Amino acid sequence: MNPETLSAALAHIVRSAVDAGEINLPVDAVPEAPRVERPKSRDHGDWATNIAMQLGKRAGMNPRQFAEIVAPKIQALDGVAAVDIAGPGFLNITLDAAAAGELARTIVEAGEEFGRNDQAVGDVVNLEFVSANPTGPLHIGHTRWAALGDAISRLLRASGATVTNEYYINDYGAQLETFAASVWARMHGQDVPEGGYPGGYVHEIAEAILAEDPTIKDQTYDEALPQLRKRAYEIQLTDIRATLDEFAVHFDVWFSESKLHEDGAVESALERLKAQGHTFEQEGAFWLRTTDFGDDKDRVLIKADGKPTYFAGDAAYYLSKKDRGFEQKIYLLGADHHGYVNRLRALAACAGDDMDQNIEVLIGQLISVNGARLSKRAGNIIELRDLIDWLGVDALRYSLARYPNDSPMEIDPDLLRSQTNDNPVFYVQYAHARSRSAARTADAQGVVREVEKFDAASLDHPTEEELLSKLAQFPSVVGAAAKGRAPHRVARHLEAIAAAYHAWYAACRIVPVPAQDGTKPAPETVNYSRRWLNDATTQVLANGLGLLGVSAPEKM
């Protein structure tokens, strides 16, 4: 019995007591999934719930009285050994060994599906992240959002949501003209213009374009500029795509900002916003009254010279997402975009959406890497590609996922490159590799998984109880991580599972201990049962690492 099963049973028990008149509550006051969690001390049982504290006063009774009504009904459930009422009304629940141990077989039989849940079924989500300008290589700042965005997407999908990963290509505006001008300058052996792009990669792009068409060097600047702009953009975007592929991050949609302007979407957006009643004209400019919804100032959409602002593009892009059927729109933005939170939320409200339901803006804090060198190609940044070559995809992705997005972080390369238990990714991956090695050893000695030889009640060693409890929590951790956009919860829980597994591995033998004369005794029921627990751990570790985009190695 896992906490999800217990929570569902608890909800049913309370609703039944309401229907029977034992508890005076509206049926809809009973939560669909009452909270079930580990007690602070294992001496208090396997699971605990505060349902009596939550609903007792609303039912017009002392919480302890409420607990006394539901406690016998909980204890009558199959697999529950005891229910104790603690303090003012906490319910501490102890499972019998067989009920706890049965989880091992449940996990193995569920396979990759274990941990998946349906809390987000029906949600249609557009998840936009990275979205770096196509004027340079991805750098350390983009690295964090690439890892977190992809992990959040995986968590939402594991919770039943339909998710589209989207990259917004900022290919409209002066930055691409400046980029092309920088390529032109390098092509002719000149310094880049003021405000241009000085990195060595610009010279590489210039050389690539020259190799394709040597005659371009003989053209005038005005003649060459359209081709330079097009090819420099294409080459750099190809580089960004290749780097993200190497980082195991994939996008379903690459959305062009310039297409919004070419297709008239910006003009259409302005008319639609005007119809919503939150626009006004002042000093020859066209404004959106975002202060109606908490923004610190109103935003210009069309300047007095008739040109759209960058925010006008943001408005058209938001409405495009809405038109494409995305009820939930999640933006993952960098640390320098704090000012965008309120303006984007206000934009959603001006467009007729609920800014507390239809849009979510997450801000990532800065990261630093001790001892990292600036990129030789980019000159003034640390490239993602260099970090991958230096630290590896797994180490980078795991370390970035194990901290909340809103906390600054510092990466210790020496730690991440070490093969010690102090290295979190090594610690978790080693637990998986160790479990696979244990399975291979068990196979060689005939301790294989057989349903008829599995006895859940034999898994009663304290380390087995602890490991099973950690495995049981995995689905609820995944659900909470998806709901909170918090991959770090999965990473930290995997570390707890790894710790429990290593302790169990040291205390319990899967394969029988050979006799002093070297003979190998026949496996007992407990050996076969432990094989199931070993493989259940393998599965949960692999599932959890997969949600973070990290590999689960067979050997280390």
Strands 328-333 and 124-128, bridge-based pairing:
parallel
How far is 482 from 467, CA to CA, in rounded Å?
23
| One-letter amino acid for residue 541 of the chain | L
Least confident of 25-39, 257-271, 342-356, 364-378: 364-378
The pLDDT of residue 282 is 94
What is the tens place of the pLDDT at every residue in 150-192?
999 999 999 999 999 999 999 998 899 999 999 999 999 999 9
Residues whose CB falls within 8 Å of the CB of residue 226, separated by 6 or more in sequence, listed in order: none
Q: Mean pLDDT of all residues in the chain?
A: 93
The pLDDT of residue 103 is 93
Q: pLDDT at residue 210 above 80?
A: yes
Residues whose CB falls within 8 Å of the CB of residue 215, separated by 6 or more in sequence, listed in order: none
Helix, strand, or coil (residue 203): helix
What is the tens place of the pLDDT at every residue in 90-147?
999 988 877 789 999 999 999 999 999 999 999 999 999 999 999 999 988 889 999 9
The pLDDT of residue 181 is 96
Tokens of 247: 């980082």
- How many other C-beta atoms are found inside a 10 Å radius of the C-beta of residue 165? 22
Mean pLDDT, residues 460-465: 93
Say which residue the tokens 């990532």 belong to. Answer: 364
2 or 313: which leads in pLDDT? 313
Q: Give me the helix-helix angle, 200-212 and 221-246, nearest 10°.
A: 110
Maximum distance among all Cα pairs of the chain, rounded to whole angstroms: 98
Confidence of residue 380 (pLDDT cuts 50, 70, 90): low
The pLDDT of residue 379 is 63
The pLDDT of residue 523 is 94
Triad 501, 506, 511: Cα angle to 5°: 95
Phi-psi group of 516: left, alpha or beta (phi > 0 → left; psi -120 to 50 → alpha; rest → beta): alpha
The pLDDT of residue 127 is 98
68 or 380: which leads in pLDDT? 68
The pLDDT of residue 97 is 72
What is the tens place of the pLDDT at every residue in 212-245?
999 999 999 999 999 999 999 999 999 999 999 9
The pLDDT of residue 43 is 77
The pLDDT of residue 140 is 85
List, in order of start, the domains of the chain with CATH numbers: 3-95 (3.30.1360.70), 129-258+365-411 (3.40.50.620), 424-547 (1.10.730.10)
How far is 397 from 412, CA to CA, in rounded Å?
14
Is-contact 348 288, C-beta < 8 A? Answer: no
Triad 230, 262, 289: Cα angle to 5°: 120
Query: What ranges make up the beta strands (E) of 466-518?
Result: none
Cα 401 versus chain centre, distance: 7
The pLDDT of residue 381 is 76
Mean pLDDT, residues 448-468: 94
β partners of residue 95? 80
Among 281, 361, 249, residue whose Cα is nearest residue 314: 361
Confidence of residue 378 (pLDDT cuts 50, 70, 90): low
Residue-wise DSSP of 140-158 = HHHHHHHHHHHHHHHHHHH
The pLDDT of residue 374 is 56
Confidence of residue 511 (pLDDT cuts 50, 70, 90): very high
The pLDDT of residue 18 is 92
How far is 545 from 509, CA to CA, in rounded Å?
26
115 or 44: which leads in pLDDT? 115
How far is 92 from 42, CA to CA, in rounded Å?
10
Tokens of 328: 């939930």
| One-letter amino acid for residue 176 of the chain | L
332 or 44: which leads in pLDDT? 332
b/e code 378-396 from CB counts within 10 Å (16+ = b) = beebbbbbbbbebbebbbb
Among 268, 305, 258, residue whose Cα is nearest residue 283: 305
How far is 540 from 467, CA to CA, in rounded Å?
11
Mean pLDDT, residues 20-41: 87
Among 259, 278, 255, residue whose Cα is nearest residue 351: 278
Least confident of 98-102, 217-221, 300-304, 341-345: 98-102
Among 422, 335, 316, 416, residue whose Cα is nearest residue 371: 416
Is-contact 107 536, C-beta < 8 A? Answer: yes
Q: pLDDT at residue 376 above 80?
A: no
Answer yes or no: pTM beyond 0.85. yes
Least confident of 71-75, 299-303, 418-422, 513-517: 513-517
